[in-house]
């Protein structure tokens, strides 16, 4: 079991080593409890897209603390099925602190007045509708719990249980879970699937930039044909939010 871990004087790198070392000795639920109630306390949040695999992480968190902040980026371009699925999971898991993160209306009016920016620049659209609002929302937190996994491939292939991005901890409890393990968890706990799974989608983002997988990994339908694999919210952005 955990004892309270003092914040390391050596900054984020030393603290990361301490967190990883102690996490290896404990079960996942014990780690989550420690991070929520001791290590990061009120400066930790969950990041969720309410996508095809999101129910697993949200269920794990709801068993521990239904009031943990859950950040959900609503770009204004999501599938209506995703919004309905969000509402279903919030009700089913009795989540009490889901926070919508959205772009400023003035920014959208200035940079994407006709709503077609996605068709000319995926990166600019993601920056406007996802990255910048997300950066602003997470500044108050020292750590984020994400559902990223190595099986997603590309930039996620080398994920660890805990990583640091711009001095902020990114905790990935499911980093080494397989698609089979995810499916088994959903079945074992009777969790509802995202409705678009039944239509062949395996990873779901904005409606204009999401297609069915093209034979690659589960995220191969995201920004299909563009070479883009990440929206950018979990990549280095040049700012630091962690107080050390």
- Rounded Cα distance between 223 and 121, Å, is 11
Structure-derived torsion over alpha carbons of residues 79, 178, 59, 145, reported in degrees to the nearest 10:
-80
Q: Which of 193, 191, 215 is nearest to 204 (CA)?
A: 193
pLDDT at 63: 97
Q: What is the mean pLDDT of each run of 10 residues along the chain (244 residues)?
A: 41 81 90 95 95 96 98 94 98 98 95 90 87 92 91 70 87 92 97 94 83 63 52 49 30
Partner residues linked to 100 by β-bridges: 72
pLDDT at 215: 64
125 appears as a binding residue in the annotation: yes
Domain positions in the chain:
12-105+141-199
Q: CA triplet 218, 238, 75: central angle to 5 degrees?
A: 50
**What are the Cα distances from residue 186, in Å, to 55, 174, 183, 190?**
7, 13, 5, 6
98 appears as a binding residue in the annotation: no
pLDDT at 159: 78
Angle between helices 80-93 and 54-62 (to 10 degrees): 20
CB 171 within 8 Å of CB 39 = no
Give CA 212 to chain center in angstroms: 20
- Rounded Cα distance between 154 and 17, Å, is 24
pTM: 0.84
206 appears as a binding residue in the annotation: yes
Assign domain 12-105+141-199 to its CATH architecture: 3-Layer(aba) Sandwich (3.40)
pLDDT at 210: 81
Which candidate in 58, 68, 101, 231 is catalytic? 231
pLDDT at 66: 98
**What are the Cα distances from residue 112, in Å, to 93, 99, 107?**
35, 24, 8
pLDDT at 238: 34
Q: Is there a catalytic annotation at residue 231?
A: yes
**In this structure, what DSSP letter does residue 206 have?**
B
pLDDT at 119: 86
pLDDT at 227: 54
């Amino acid at each position: 079991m955990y004892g309270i871990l003092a914040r390391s004087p050596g900054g984020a790198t030393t603290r990361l080593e301490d967190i990883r070392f102690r996490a290896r000795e404990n079960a996942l639920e014990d780690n989550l409890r420690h991070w929520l109630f001791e290590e990061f306390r009120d400066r930790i949040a969950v990041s969720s897209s309410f996508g095809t695999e999101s129910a697993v992480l949200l269920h794990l968190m709801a068993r521990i603390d239904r009031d943990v902040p859950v950040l959900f980026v609503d770009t204004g371009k999501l599938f209506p099925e995703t919004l309905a699925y969000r509402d279903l999971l919030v009700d089913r898991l009795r989540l009490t602190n889901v926070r919508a993160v959205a772009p400023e209306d003035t920014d959208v009016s200035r940079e994407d007045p006709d709503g077609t920016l996605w068709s000319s620049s995926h990166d600019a659209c993601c920056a406007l509708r996802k990255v910048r609002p997300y950066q602003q929302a997470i500044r108050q937190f020292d750590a984020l719990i994400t559902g990223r996994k190595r099986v997603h491939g590309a930039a996620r292939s080398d994920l660890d249980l805990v990583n640091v991005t711009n001095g902020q901890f990114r905790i990935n409890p499911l980093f080494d879970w397989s698609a089979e393990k995810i499916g088994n968890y959903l079945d074992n706990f009777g969790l509802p699937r995202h409705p678009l799974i039944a239509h062949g989608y395996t990873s779901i983002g904005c409606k204009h930039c999401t297609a069915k997988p093209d034979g690659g990994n589960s995220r191969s339908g995201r920004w299909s044909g563009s070479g883009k694999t990440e929206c950018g919210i979990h990549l280095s952005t040049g700012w630091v939010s962690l107080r050390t």
